[in-house]
Structure 1
Amino acid sequence: MNLEQQLIQRLQSLSPSHLEVVNESSGHGGYFPGKESHFKVVVVSDAFEGLRLVQRHQKIYAAAGDLLSPGAIHALAIHAFVASEWQGQATASPECAHAPKSK
């Protein structure tokens, strides 16, 4: 099972009503086909009710566990919402300073 699939499986523990996991590795330096190092997650869950943003992120880090270790996921962009906040917001990621350059 690849890292993306493992991350999806682990985030299911938060009982999300919406879950989006995007492998953004191709936009970062050192990319090669199949690389899994940079991800973005959008998680909508009642598990975040009453929690501050940092506490929501901590829940996601706890669910991801050892996937956030050297040699696995290097960067994780997190967008965590409760259902009443989620309106299908755009969650674009910024360009990486070390992204592969177009020729």
Structure 2
Amino acid sequence: MAFGITRKELLEWKAKIDQGEIAFLTHYWIDERFPNCKTVTKVGCNDITKLINWGKQYDLKPEWIDQRQNGYSHFDLLGQKQIDILKKEGLTSHIWA
């Protein structure tokens, strides 16, 4: 279950994806499969090749992309990998306690 983002933030993320940019959206999240993770960062792009190439620099596998019919395919970043990538991307504002 996702929470902690506004509709405006979601629409901005989608707009960046629609423009072919690599877009980041972090929100609070609860999932029984990942009891130690309280947030997730979705990294999306409508250009799957661009998204795959972006992910390669962080050892993210193409099969980890959540393929969406609506064009908002994305990687889900969790845990320490999420923190490490956000720091490398200069997005420390996306790191929440």
More helix by share: 2
Output the TM-score relative to the length of structure 2. Answer: 0.29
Q: Which has the higher contact order (CA 8 A, sep 6+)?
A: 1
Output the TM-score relative to the length of structure 1. Answer: 0.28
